Chain A
């Protein structure tokens, strides 16, 4: 592709905020058909209640996009290749297929399991803060803390050697970068699956106590090698890109809201509510997976025919005055769980209990370690073209 890529409307932001055009769409007609720069026609859904309705209804809004919609760039691939690339990807299937995969994984992500992991996460956080303190100031918060902490956590949980992180971080980042062509992203996805297939084969020969070992041991007969590689690949990607960007962007948000920061420093017990508010206000996942209508539907009074792509704009929904009053204000004292930053419905984030636990540990530890934490003069670099919003770098001093 030679033209400069254009950012799809649902991903456009001014710093932390969805662009005014998205708020206007939510306050106006609510639903609009757009041509995304990826060449795909899709309906944007922006209001909180409508987004919940769409995400909560997997019968009328299917995640099996490919059946009805051709994504430009897909032509060069055979059905078989595409099916292999989808195997094990929970976000690309509907119940009952989705239920089958998800049921195998939920036991690993219960609130109780997460509590058992806490001491290890505290240790990982403290080690990275030690290293950051030794090496600075200044330090790049992204590469010194925000990225390596969740990355190491998901590696240990899955059973992925952390020494491979340079390679897989580059790959996952490419998979999510919409400024690259479909072919380039697919290539990264294929490499990620090949890498994961190697780890799965190793786990099959000698299953350890980690998640890959558990899947092989307990579900090895029900899952194909492609599915196992797909599950591992999705978890590795979802497990570190998201939490990493919440940590970096969340820290910047607090630094830019000194009153909120001071309140959290003074009353650290507010951390749970603060994390929920940061999740809502930042909504780092711009949209859930694209959906396709399985029948004619009506959303916000607008008729959408069968077989059309639908995109739920999570940042717009989370800034809906129908969810909280004065929604554009960051206010860590509200902190309800009702937001859609983790999605809603059957695809609601599997890793939410893990992400919450990591964030509830990492933010306070960072603030406690560096009472004078501040931005340096160098402007942080926002990362616009990624499916997960965030920062490429954030230079801090203390």
Chain B
């Protein structure tokens, strides 16, 4: 099985914080409000929440690699 990896494009992020609200252990915002990935390999247990965060991100800054969880 491929491990799930989350990637964030910090140049694209608009700092809306939807990811932090959806999966707090995985994402944070730095002092500028830009996304920081705390857990690049969040594991299967968090796959669903991470999938929702990726779908909810308004700027399209987040992407997944590996086994994709069903989105929404």
CB of A103 within 8 A of CB of B32, answer yes
Cα-based distance from A112 to B56 in the complex (angstroms): 19
Cα-based distance from A197 to B15 in the complex (angstroms): 27
A255 CB, nearest partner CB in chain B, Å = 27
Instruction: Report the contact-size class of chain B (Cβ under 8 Å from the partner).
Output: 20 to 34
Q: List the interface of chain A (C-beta within 8 A of B).
A: 56, 102-103, 106-112, 336-338, 342-346, 348-350, 352-353, 356
Q: 9 tightest CB-CB pairs across the interface, nearest first?
A: A106-B33, A106-B15, A348-B58, A111-B17, A337-B56, A110-B29, A111-B20, A110-B33, A107-B33
Cα-based distance from A338 to B57 in the complex (angstroms): 9
Q: Please give, as numbers and ranges, the residues of chain B lying within 8 Å of A346 by CB-CB distance.
A: 14, 58-59
Q: Please give, as numbers and ranges, the residues of chain A lying within 8 Å of B32 by CB-CB distance.
A: 103, 106-107
Cα-based distance from A348 to B19 in the complex (angstroms): 13
- Main SS of the interface on chain A? helix
CB of A337 within 8 A of CB of B18, answer yes
B21 at the interface (CB under 8 A from A): yes
Contact residue among A56, A106, A338, A352 (Cβ-Cβ distance under 8 Å from B60): A56
Tell me the nearest residue of chain A to B17, going by C-beta.
A111
Given contacts A103-B32, A107-B32, A109-B33, contact A337 B14 (CB under 8 A): no
A331 CB, nearest partner CB in chain B, Å = 16
- Main SS of the interface on chain B? loop
Q: Please give, as numbers and ranges, the residues of chain B lying within 8 Å of A345 by CB-CB distance.
A: 58-60
Query: Can you list 28 contacts pairing A with B, beta carbon distance less than 8 Å?
Result: A56-B58, A56-B60, A102-B15, A106-B32, A106-B33, A106-B34, A107-B15, A107-B31, A109-B15, A109-B33, A110-B15, A110-B20, A110-B29, A110-B33, A111-B20, A111-B21, A111-B29, A337-B18, A337-B52, A338-B56, A338-B72, A342-B58, A345-B58, A345-B59, A346-B59, A348-B16, A348-B59, A353-B21
